[in-house]
A and B are shown apart, each in its own frame.
Chain A
Amino acid sequence: MKTPDLGRVDAHEKVTGTASYGADRVPDDLAYAMFAVATIGKGRTVSIDTAAAEAVPGVRLVLTRFDEDELRGPGFLMGGGFAFQSLQPLLSDVVAYRGQPIALIVADTLVAATEAADLVRARYEIEPFAVGIDDEGATSVLQEEALPWFPDVKVGDAETAYAASPVQIDETYLHPAQHQVPMELISSVVQWKGDRLVVHESTQNAGALRHGVAAQLNLDPADVDVISPYIGGGFGSRNALQPHIGPLALAARRLRRPVKLVIPRRQTFHTGSFRPVSRHRIRLGADPSGRLLAALHDADHQTSRHDLYPAMYTEITSRLYAVPNFGGRQRLVQTDVQTPGFMRAPNEGPASFAFESAVDVLAYATGQDPVELRLANDTATDPVTGLPFSSRHLAQCLTRGAERFGWQKRDPRPGSMRAADGSLVGLGVAVGAHPVLVAPAVARMSAGADGRVTVGVDGHEMGQGIRSAIALLVAQDLGVPVQDVVVRVGDTRVAPQHLTAGAWGTATALPAVHKALRELRKRLGAGDTGTVEVAAAVRATGHGSPEVEVTSVGPGQPPEMLDRSRAGLFSAAGPVFPDFTAFSWAAHFVEVRIEATTRRIRVPRALCVADCGRVASPVTAASQVRGGVIWGISEALRESSEVDPRFGGFLNTTLEEYPVAVNADIAEIDFDFIDEPDLLLSEVGVKGLGELTMIGVAAAVANAVFHATGQRQNRLPIRIEDVM
């Protein structure tokens, strides 16, 4: 069954400005908050002078310290807690990193709060700090020792097999720190309604916000509502409790007023997570024909002093090809930063850049065509577990892509192709994979006498189109117009709202919705398939609006996972399920043109062929591909969070100095879907797409730059000075 081409169901709200994001509420008697932040790299505050801030007319509160009884630590998301980092500012005099909040100001107006925040002055005791992974004072631990539950992938005896390989490739790659910079600033409006706390914040994890702030403030989670119907871009930056919520809620309670905080763009570079620096040594052993015999992937991965943010690079690099011997070793390097975290394709982006660049080196070393070499190393089974892949159409992605892209016209010799204007032309290929994870979900569905069907489910709408995919599934299943389907997501009042990330959102929500549809059909006395005249069926039941509630878990997940999810805890599972391993797959083809003289690198066309299972919503899926490829281009050619080691923190903390791709950077992006449902995974057959579409793009760009120039690019971003 192919999904019809229906549009985005919430597009109307978005083009009229009526979609409501976190800060788009202005309740009566609203007060405005602002943070003052630390201006040193690390140390302690000796004293904080707030007198000038307090003297600003309209200032109501200047808070520099909370009691541990009123504000508890939130716990680290990846350590059984709720927050992007364990460190809660304003609980002690410790300054762990530049940009850490040291005071919260609340005032009647935004100008007063802002002026007052600028007037807070702290005296510090400065301690030595290290921000870069090679800086003196950075310390490292082996992940498998520090976090045994995130083990390195090891198959066979990779060192020995590599040493015995006739062809050896040994390359090291550096991926910079990057920031998610969604267009919407981190912002919240918090409001007490009696003892009930209502939080309006654009979040990918309303469940963790609810339970996290409840734990921090010693509230019953049932007394906390988190409302997040739209998110102005997530990309991982909003996937956990942020440390401003607790202080904001306490301030609102003291003042008995609703409080709004919109964190300034500059501060967002330090108040939330980021993609950490990573370094990857890739060793490939192969026979003279390019058949892989061994692969070793050693990664150094930046984390903070206070949390061990795990690396999972080898999860995909061990599965791209039929590699009989694989050796992963991941080292965590502790530095003086806020805890890094997830950013679109958090592990897979850097890992594929490194590994797929090395595979291109292998292709040239063995005289093989890069597409053919990849096809020759294809595998139907997971080399790590020996289980079958639930579905893997990667070879088809490559062959279909090569045909569509015109790969045959490529002269493989570096520097051999020129455009009419004298630009160097390079064509590059790389593949990507993303693990399929599935989380538990709760879906509630009701049908009204007006014929409308309302569905509330775990999931957050952040532009990926989950609302559209859900509405489409319901509309198609029941044969009702899509306009008659009301979808409520991102709202703790309708479902637990487990984290939506890792591209599992749609794959998690749809099976629950599918199950709810089966139950609703029963309640409506309808058969399991076929069109349902909803209004008539509702009237025929004779009692109001039938409502059903169902739960679902991922394949092989025990039902107790629902309890974790209901407690706001991380509960996704995969990609290894009892009977199979599940990944989505993609092949990327990129053309670069490099000016003959001033060496600007442009990407006139790119192609992504994706195996994401069934395409749940063609229109939004197409946009997901274009957006993902643009992210990959921006990752490869633009983005880097810069550090001045003398000061700590990040320096280029504006959208001017942190250059993301603009409209003029983007030309043609073509795509194709395999569109084969993965029915081992679920009845709806959907795998993930949102992250997959950028995974491999950076390597394809780097490989294309090599093809154009003969210069390998082992460090991102690739800029003019790298190809002069």
Chain B
Amino acid sequence: MRSFAYVVPDSVAGAVDALAAAEPGTKILAGGTTLYDLMKLGVEAPPAVIDIHRLAELTEISTGEGELSFGAGAKMAEVADHPVVRRDYPALSESLWRAASQQLRNMATVGGNLLQRTRCGYFRGGAEFGCNKRDPGSGCAALEGLDRTHALLGASDACIATYPGDWAVALIAFDAELDVVGPRGERTLPLGDLHVEPGDNPVLEHTLAADELILRIRVPATPAGRGSTYHKIRDRESYAFALTSAAAAVTLDAQGTVTDCRIGLGGVATRPWRATAAERSLLGEQLTMGTARHAGEVAFADARPVRTGAFRVELGIRTVTDALLTAGKQAAR
């Protein structure tokens, strides 16, 4: 690992100042589970890190009327076990506790987790593998390589790396928003506007400016929260990234007709993926095996299967189907 300067601000304002004054490439360190790991691998080599993990201002959680609010520095484990989140938004809780291990969830923050970087083996593997995300212009080794877990949606000729996170997939289904802060003050953006597809510049993964940091994540209250689930299919039962995953939330009227539907896809796309066409396909319908499956097919209509990962299109459709049916059962409780 390259050496770096270690900066510990004592307030968010101090962090913003430090970031503004820092050398280019300076990184924010929160839980460290992605950044410190990538620094060990030599994928990241910031000249300085600004450690914000102690800033109590960033750790507040509120579940009052109208919205849920999670400070960016709150730990994944804490939010996963929050009783209101568990009861009213099972998809959010499940997306967290089905990610990583409890040790890592005790370290990683809900803000940092949004920006978790891909687990593509060629990205993490070292300089000998071409990777446009790590080393622009060096090519994409995955395109002709071991691509069993690479992206089916949102990929480009420059990059097919899968966005690995779960939490953002559930959040995007609930129209979450972010409050961010920088030298120009605070601003709010929809989570859906945070991540970008790789296009011809896979280095760019999100729309935050280099001098901005995430303050909190806000989720508008919705009755669809209760009728929700996060379904995650992995190569083993736990402690693995998704082959396919789906966040699903539905609201049903007294006749069982779907009046609201949210679907997020994980493990299959270059960014947290909102399947809006699939959501629309269910509105006004009864939720049955047939309509749920149809929604899954719509969700993957644009999937561009990579070679050894092609089975994940059908697996993804079935994951969405099962998630919707589970969400429907939750909603009908």
Contact = CB atoms under 8 A, between A and B. Distances in A.
Interface of A: 39-40, 111, 114-115, 118, 597-600, 602, 638, 642, 644, 646-647, 651-652, 656-657, 659, 661-665, 719-721, 724
Contacts of A598: 233, 244, 315, 318-319, 322
B128 A663 contact: no
Given A598-B233, A647-B141, A721-B311, 16 more contacts: A39-B126, A115-B1, A597-B318, A597-B321, A599-B315, A599-B318, A600-B237, A651-B121, A652-B121, A656-B240, A657-B119, A657-B121, A663-B238, A665-B236, A720-B233, A720-B235
A40 B240 CA distance: 29
Contacts of B318: 597-599
B211 to A, nearest CB: 28
Nearest to B309: A721
B314 A724 contact: yes
24 contacts: A39-B127, A111-B3, A114-B1, A115-B1, A597-B321, A598-B233, A599-B318, A638-B235, A644-B146, A647-B129, A647-B141, A651-B125, A652-B121, A656-B119, A656-B240, A661-B236, A662-B237, A662-B239, A664-B236, A665-B237, A665-B238, A720-B243, A720-B315, A724-B314
B65 interface: no
B333 interface: no
A659 B235 CA distance: 8
Contacts of A656: 119, 240-241
A638 B1 CA distance: 32
A665 B237 CA distance: 6
B46 interface: no
A598 B321 CA distance: 10
B157 interface: no
A638 B238 CA distance: 13
B223 interface: no
Nearest to B321: A597
A599 B314 CA distance: 11
A450 B182 CA distance: 74
B321 A111 contact: no
A724 B310 CA distance: 12
B236 A642 contact: no
B184 interface: no
B240 A724 contact: no
A111 B40 CA distance: 10
B237 A664 contact: yes
A724 B145 contact: no
Interface in B153-186: none
Contact of A664 (B1, B119, B238, B319): B238
B233 A600 contact: yes
B256 interface: no
Contacts of A39: 126-128
Interface in B223-240: 233, 235-240
B322 to A, nearest CB: 6
A39 B175 CA distance: 45
A124 B126 CA distance: 17
Interface in B301-333: 311, 314-315, 318-319, 321-322
A724 B311 contact: yes
A190 B64 CA distance: 61
Contacts of A662: 236-239
A577 B35 CA distance: 59
Nearest to B124: A654
Contacts of A663: 238
B42 A647 contact: no
B212 to A, nearest CB: 30
A592 to B, nearest CB: 14
A651 B1 contact: no
B240 to A, nearest CB: 6
A599 B238 CA distance: 16
A622 B155 CA distance: 50
Contacts of B121: 651-652, 657
Contact of A115 (B3, B119, B141, B144): B3
B157 to A, nearest CB: 18
A664 B240 CA distance: 11
A40 B315 CA distance: 36
Nearest to A648: B128
Interface in B97-153: 119, 121, 125-129, 141, 144-146
Contacts of B233: 598, 600, 720
A655 to B, nearest CB: 10
A461 to B, nearest CB: 28
A642 B235 contact: no
A646 B144 contact: yes
A73 to B, nearest CB: 28
Interface string B241-270: 101100000000000000000000000000
A651 B235 CA distance: 17
A113 to B, nearest CB: 11
A646 to B, nearest CB: 7
B263 to A, nearest CB: 16
Contact of B42 (A118, A602, A721): A118
Contacts of B241: 656
Nearest to A638: B236
Contacts of B239: 662, 664
Contact of B128 (A40, A600, A719): A40
Contacts of B3: 111, 115
Contacts of A651: 121, 125, 145-146
B237 A719 contact: no
A394 B144 CA distance: 48
Nearest 7 A-B pairs (CB), nearest first?
Answer: A721-B311, A664-B237, A664-B238, A39-B128, A597-B318, A665-B237, A644-B145
A111 B1 CA distance: 7
B236 A659 contact: yes
A638 B129 CA distance: 25
A274 to B, nearest CB: 17
A118 B240 CA distance: 28
A482 to B, nearest CB: 36
Contacts of B238: 662-665
A721 B306 CA distance: 14
Interface centre among B125, B126, B314, B318 (most CB of A within 10 A): B125
Contacts of B235: 638, 659, 719-720
